[in-house]
Structure 1
């Protein structure tokens, strides 16, 4: 974006940062009368449109475990056209994270972490406006030359809690217990390259990783760049396979 960085700031929303002088401009601070308190990932379209996710509208970033335990389903996928206001494309998402555009931008994908699935919203063509759902275990996605990259990482014991009845007092009790125990995410990282047809040309994983809870990934040349929900920086690693595995 003209050499500038797009940043999802959990306090200010979607912002643009000029790396030359550090100047910050807020592009979207709210939507539908609500502040963007848990803005998560963003993808830039060729026409300048920004597609971005809000993980949760009930809990802030520091309380992300509460959203997983309570299964609030208050996440969103939004779009901001150049000069316009954010519009909600998908609502009711479960801890929405990574966002990816198809190479031809015919669809956009958003990952739902606590639902272990992805949503694909068609933006053009005969299926425009339709939404498909695929259950791919614990994936997060990013654009990579016609491929979709995914990662995996989770806190222990959360899936069993998600199966609890959808009753308010049970959910609140589970959140309180979860905050008391505060389970730590396992040190496991998994990155997958997924074709739009569901093919899997590359599947990488590492146990006992020094970098935990990866929630975003993108490819730059022969490197993978990963972001985390809990770490204070990004992780960069060389691809152990040829970049041609990700080529269109």
Structure 2
């Protein structure tokens, strides 16, 4: 794939907001996946963990035995995965768009373009009880193999969409610096979207007196948010895939040519995600409830998170593993009150 050129724009990164004191993940366990790139995770009623892999497969992993079974092969790059209320899964495929994948592996394309332009980086979704889907298209210029280019260029083109059950697409937000994770409030009154390149979460109100307004959700984050999800506890769980990069933060407000030079460097010399586990959880008012940080030799760069019962499951864009730790006691409470 030809590496696209960048036209960097100046941007001054905001300082990170207040944070709690991180706690280490409790009883952290790592399970081997049957391939690389377990970007998102979804837990089925039978306890199996569903994830997509870099080779296009969607698999279910038995967390007890470690065995796995293939559900489908999308022929693309599956990222975000959600349950569909009618059965099967809603899958954001970076190459193919928004998909419905049946339990037996059948694939239906739900949306692959908007106003005549194809999606090139469908990323994450949240699904309402009636089948309405909220999903992101991270960039209109940079595909998944060149995701770093979007952060270096910083000319935001990411978007948040709603797909109604009749197939109608509505643009809810655009101009996002790498639109990423999506989470729907338990009562479906609002949807939260992660803006990776701005270290931010945003809330879009969907019902009640505040219908329509868009506002920040929580503080400016200490790193790059990736997938987010609503836990069984009603909190919005957020992966921070990597801490902020000091070099990138220094270069963003300076003359754009410097970032063009960085983009021209070989991949090994460019900014890289750090192999860190960092998970936040926020209540419905945007207050920090949990702040978890740690490291493991076989798992890092957490990009997917799912709270089910007393466990927190994680996936990673770059690892051939999934991981799980025990739900911590409340940490960071009061940090933003």
TM bucket normalised to smaller: 0.7 to 0.9
RCO greater where, 1 or 2, for CA within 8 Å and sep 6 or more? 2
Deviates more, 1:100-109 or 1:199-208: 199-208
Residue 62 of structure 1 is matched in structure 2 by: 145
Distance 1:128 1:152, change over 3 A: same
For 1:56 and 1:64, locate their aligned partners in 2 and report how far apart those are by CA, in whole Å: 8
CA distance in 2, matches of 1:88, 1:232: 34
User: How many residues of Structure 1 are paired with residues of Structure 2 in the alignment?
Assistant: 239
Q: Residue 323 of structure 2: which of 225, 233, 236 is its match?
A: 236
Partner of 2:221: 136
Please give the TM-score of this superposition, normalised by the length of structure 1: 0.87
**TM (normalized to structure 2)?**
0.65
What is aligned with 1:246? none
Alpha-carbon offset, residue 32 of structure 1? 2.0
Q: Establish whether residue 160 from structure 1 lines up as the match of residue 250 from structure 2.
A: yes
Q: Could you tell me how far apart the structure 2 residues matched to 1:192 and 1:209 are? A: 21
| 1:26-75 Cα shifts (integer Å, max 9, x gaps) | 11111122111101101001221100011111100010111111112110
The structure with the largest alpha-carbon Rg is 2
Kept in 1, the 8 Å contact 2:313–2:325? The answer is no
| 5+ residue gaps, structure 2 | 1-83, 331-337
* Preserved CA contact (<8 Å) 2:299 2:323: no
2:124/2:180 contact within 8 Å kept:
yes
Higher helix share: 1
Matched, 1:176 2:264: yes
CA-based RMSD of the aligned residues comes to 2.2
Equivalent residue, structure 2, for 1:18: 102
Mapped to 1, the partners of 2:254 and 2:302 lie a distance apart of: 26
Q: 5+ residue gaps in structure 1?
A: 244-248
Question: In 2 relative to 1, CA 59–181 (structure 1 residues): closer, same or farther, beyond 3 Å?
Answer: same
Mean CA deviation greater in 27-36 or 151-160: 151-160
Q: Deviations over 1:205-242 (max 9, x none)?
A: 11355333333322122332323333456x23032426
Shift of the 242–16 alpha-carbon distance from structure 1 to 2, 3 Å rule, reads farther
Residue in structure 2 matched with residue 212 of structure 1 by the alignment = 300
Residues 80-229 of structure 1 aligned to structure 2 (within 5 Å): 80-134=163-217, 135-138=220-223, 139-140=225-226, 141-144=228-231, 145-154=233-242, 156=245, 157-165=247-255, 167=256, 169=257, 171-177=259-265, 179=267, 181-208=269-296, 210-229=298-317
Measured against aligned partners, the alpha-carbon deviations of 1:164-202 in whole angstroms (never above 9, x if no partner) come to 34x5x5553342237462333111111111112232222
> Whole-Å Cα distance in 1 between the matches of residues 251 and 311 of structure 2?
36
